[in-house]
Amino acid sequence: MASSAALPLQQQLESQPAHLPCSLIVEYRKGQTIYDQHRRSTSLYLVVEGSVKVSRIAEDGREAIIEMYQPDEFFGESAFLNLDQCSEQATAHSNTKLMAWTTSALEEIAMQSPCVAMALSQILVRRIVSLTERLESFNMESIARRLARSLIRFSERQGTPEEHGWVRMPPLTHELLGQYVGTHREIVSVYMSQFRRQGFLQYSRKIILVHPESFRTWLGQKPVSSDGRTRKRAAKTPRVSPRAISSTP
C-alpha cells in the first residue's frame, strides 16, 4: 500500500508549499492504454516511473502527440472537463508506474488546501503557454525548425548532461518525432540525417546525443550556459565519432 506521507508537486513548483496525499501506485506495461476515447480519463495522473505518451487520434486514424510526460509530471487534466467524448488517449511509452487522484478527490483537497489549487493552476497555465508556443511554431515555422525545437525540448526534459555541452537522451523513433512535429517519419529521417552531418546530434537505436547550443545557434536563439545565462558566442560544436555511439551501453 502507498504511504500516507505527502507527495510534493512538480519540481518547478518547489516554491509552493502545496502537497497531495499519496495514492496507490498502478503499473502499466509498455504500450498499454491508460485511457482513450472509449474509456475516458476520470483522474489526474502523476508519473512515478517510466514515461507516458498523450496523443489525439484524428478521424482518419492519424495520431498527433500532444506531449511526452516523464517522472514527477502530471497528465490527464482533460478529466476536469467531464466530456462525454474525447479523442485524447494516454499510452505507457515504457514500463510505467503512476499515481492517480479522481477529480472529485482533488476538488475536496483543493477546498481544504487552497495552495494545492494554486499549484495545480500554475501547472495548467504553464502547460497552456507551452502548447501555445508549439501552435505558433506549427503555423509559422518549417518542419526542420519545429524538429530542432522539439529536440531541444526533449533534451531539456529527458536528457542527461554530458561533456562539451552534449546531452544524452533515451532513443526516440522517427515515427514518434514525426507525430510530435506534424509530419511523416520519412521526412524526419531526412532532417535527422542532415542534423547529424552538421554535427548537431548523433543517434543510434540505444541513445540520442544532442548538442542544444548548436541547435539554438542554428535557430538564431541566444546560447544558454549551464548556469542558465545567455552567452554572446556559441562554442564550436564538438564532434562525436560513430565509435562513441556504438560503444555506448
In this structure, the answer to whether residues 11 and 68 fall within a common structural domain is: yes
| CATH code assigned at 45 | 2.60.120.10
| CATH code assigned at 237 | 1.10.10.10
Q: What is the pLDDT of residue 223?
A: 53
Q: What is the pLDDT of residue 123?
A: 85
pLDDT of residue 221 exceeding 50: yes
Query: Quick check: is 65 in a domain?
Result: yes
In this structure, the answer to whether residues 14 and 134 fall within a common structural domain is: yes
Q: Which of 122, 138, 154 is the last residue of a domain?
A: 138
- Can you name the residues that pair with 52 across neighbouring β-strands? 69, 92
Do the beta carbons of residue 199 and residue 83 sit within 8 Å? Answer: no
Whole-angstrom CA distances from 37 to 53, 59, 85 are 15, 12, 7
In this structure, the answer to whether residues 102 and 84 fall within a common structural domain is: yes
Domain extent at residue 210: 142-246
Task: Name the average pLDDT for the chain.
Answer: 82
Query: Quick check: is 1 in a domain?
Result: no
pLDDT of residue 232 exceeding 80: no
In this structure, the answer to whether residues 25 and 130 fall within a common structural domain is: yes
pLDDT winner (highest mean) among 6-10, 82-86, 187-191, 221-225: 187-191
Q: What is the pLDDT of residue 247?
A: 37
Q: What is the pLDDT of residue 65?
A: 92
Whole-angstrom CA distances from 102 to 1, 105, 222 are 18, 5, 42
What pTM, to 2 d.p., does this model score?
0.74
Do the beta carbons of residue 92 and residue 32 sit within 8 Å? Answer: yes
Q: What is the pLDDT of residue 38?
A: 83
Q: Which of 138, 157, 183 is the last residue of a domain?
A: 138
Q: Could you give the CA distance from residue 21 to residue 67 in angstroms, rounded to a whole number?
A: 25
Q: What is the pLDDT of residue 184?
A: 93
In this structure, the answer to whether residues 10 and 127 fall within a common structural domain is: yes
Beta strands in the chain (DSSP E): 6-8, 19-21, 26-28, 33-35, 43-49, 52-57, 63-69, 74-75, 88-92, 96-102, 160-161, 167-169, 201-203, 208-210
In this structure, the answer to whether residues 123 and 171 fall within a common structural domain is: no
* Burial classification of residue 151, based on how many CB atoms lie within 10 Å of its CB (0-12 exposed, 13-18 middle, 19 or more buried): buried
Domain count, the chain: 2
User: Which stretch of 45-49, 57-61, 180-184 has the lowest confidence by average pLDDT?
Assistant: 57-61
At 74-129, the pLDDT tens digits run: 999 888 887 767 778 999 999 999 999 998 998 888 888 888 888 888 888 988 89
Mean pLDDT of 232-238: 46
In this structure, the answer to whether residues 119 and 39 fall within a common structural domain is: yes
* Burial classification of residue 119, based on how many CB atoms lie within 10 Å of its CB (0-12 exposed, 13-18 middle, 19 or more buried): buried
